Chains A and B, each alone.
Chain A
């Protein structure tokens, strides 16, 4: 046992090591990525992989789990949509070795395209779900989740949120297990082959198991009560932490740490109060359960508007809900000062020297009146440059573009998709576009990594999660195999060549692929690649503003004087843009 100051995701990873996890898979996604990254740092002797996508990751883990080993799968909430197909039926087949699926939710969509609630998936799939309220809680729950999964014979869905994953706290960690299991597959078609005759039986068994699930969760102590008076706050996840901090004296506290909730227990604790306030993030899962058993007890929460139904909760919002419910007086709420007005925003931005900026620049120049369906990655920030017209989910650039084309749109359609995203779910869309006769340009922004989530490798990088060498997948060969006749690869730092490639592509019809390839600047810097910086010659500069509008954070301009700061990574694209030839390499000193 040792006390450490660690990130929520590191505590989760450590808990897996303590439980003796034998197999780990996942696809990167904020806020879940650091779990597998932490496991990699421990140089594990067991299998750890970044999978191509979440469906692949979960199916890998299921296969491993059916051999009796303990498995962990990690993803962000929207990744669970991709993995939903195996998830739904995994409840029928069940598991042998403990299988824990971490689906990290992101209330307020800090780094996400939506605010969906993974707990709904657990209910949908009839699987147990754990909902931690602190880093220590996340650690302890996850350590025990493998044995819970084995006891019930079901995968366990573990649902932390951003404020758990990216919280640091003092945590009591246990010893790392040294024993690992070796998998052995025992054939059992009645369990593992879900033909109709088998699945009907499996479904009945799953339903019959539900009371046992509730009982087991209760026995394991995931529901706790601190009974005090006639008013109660009932809370789950990080909302429980906010509520505990400012709970008025004399108010009962009821904590929900898992689902499904045992209704008999819930009815007893709720009806022992006159009023309850339900505090939870995202969907009113607990609240709906509470309302079903409340009888004459008054229930406050999202459904009567006292708790917001979107975004994340906080201490101020908890104060507001307590006041609205009449649990405290408005005078008990600390005053909050007003933020300063007119401070220019500082949104995330593509790095100085990012290959995406150069690619977008040339793309917009050649396809001036184009429609730009895009995808999920750093390049979604191209929105700021007017280079992103659509973005909905992973792999949905080529597919949305196809739909727009077949609907009769006559403007050129130019899709952008990153290398990792293309491999994740982009390929079926490309194949479909060719097969069904779409006409569009697909730009693969190949920066040789999964950049936005922290530079994880993927099958085209030639490196595995644990750093092993592996034959790199050829994006060009995949495109050709999908039936694409026009495939060209260019260096986006070479603006004239890039522009010419787009111009050539524009002259053809059908699906054309341009692969813009240049390693992510962050990766390049870490690999020790140094390029000479650029500078502006004030004699030649006419302050036309073209380089400034390029949007590179290394280019500043004050009082008509443009300078290049030390953020410059030496990509040299601005020098190719400048019509006066006023930007040049710094002389070596």
Chain B
């Protein structure tokens, strides 16, 4: 299974994690690769922590074991920390500079996590911090944040840009395609400069 490339995408229900993983899965199909993906559905989606495992060239397990992700894309800082142990020591970590404090923290009056402290814990080799919100706004809509993140991660994925574009075309609403392709480019530029 040495040719399997494991990409884990995490975030919060409603951020478009599943759609982002669909783009990767569709790109695999465009390249004639096998792919196995496992998603969070149902009750867990209600604003909860969400994960989508994409195993490019995968044939059997749809789940990535801890310590085996080549790439971890996180749409949020706390989720980045929650799932960091899935990353291989030499893995790539692409993180959205965006913090959503769980409501339970306020209700239970727990210490509110701070952005700076989280970043300090997260930073390391091959760590890329993306301001997806700003780039998505630049692309035309904050709703394109998930595609900004796919674009940012694309420099590390073993998938061709044309294939990822195919994936975007297949999964975003037709009238938002142009905006999403721009979001992809802006994200990609953020990790290549």
Tell me the A residues contacting B by CB distance below 8 Å.
Answer: 3-5, 7, 30-31, 33-34, 110-111, 134, 163, 166-170, 238, 241-242, 244-246, 314-316, 334-340, 343-351, 378, 381, 384, 452-454, 548-549, 551-553, 555-558
Contact = CB atoms under 8 A, between A and B. Distances in A.
Given A167-B37, A340-B85, A334 B68 contact: yes
A120 to B, nearest CB: 23
Contact of B29 (A5, A33, A339, A378): A5
A336 B38 CA distance: 20
Nearest to A347: B48
A94 B63 CA distance: 39
Given A346-B102, A452-B42, A553-B47, A334 B61 contact: no
B183 interface: no
B35 interface: yes
A134 B103 CA distance: 37
Given A5-B25, A170-B29, A170-B35, A346 B61 contact: no
Interface string B93-104: 000000001111
Contact of A166 (B29, B33, B35, B39): B39
Contacts of A168: 21-22, 25, 35-39, 62
Given A170-B28, A345-B102, A346-B48, A339 B63 contact: no
Interface stretch (B74-82, B151-159, B174-182): B74-82
A33 B104 CA distance: 29
Interface in B1-50: 1, 12-13, 21-22, 25-26, 28-29, 33-49
Interface in B91-126: 101-107, 110, 112-113, 121
B60 interface: yes
Contacts of A34: 41
Interface in B141-187: none
A7 B171 CA distance: 14
A17 B21 CA distance: 26
B45 to A, nearest CB: 7
Given A242-B60, A337-B66, A346-B78, A167 B44 contact: no
B65 A336 contact: yes
A134 B37 CA distance: 11
B46 A349 contact: yes
Nearest to B52: A168
A30 B43 contact: yes
B59 interface: yes
Given A337-B66, A337-B85, A340-B85, A241 B121 contact: no
Given A316-B65, A336-B65, A349 B106 contact: no
B122 to A, nearest CB: 9
Nearest to B82: A343
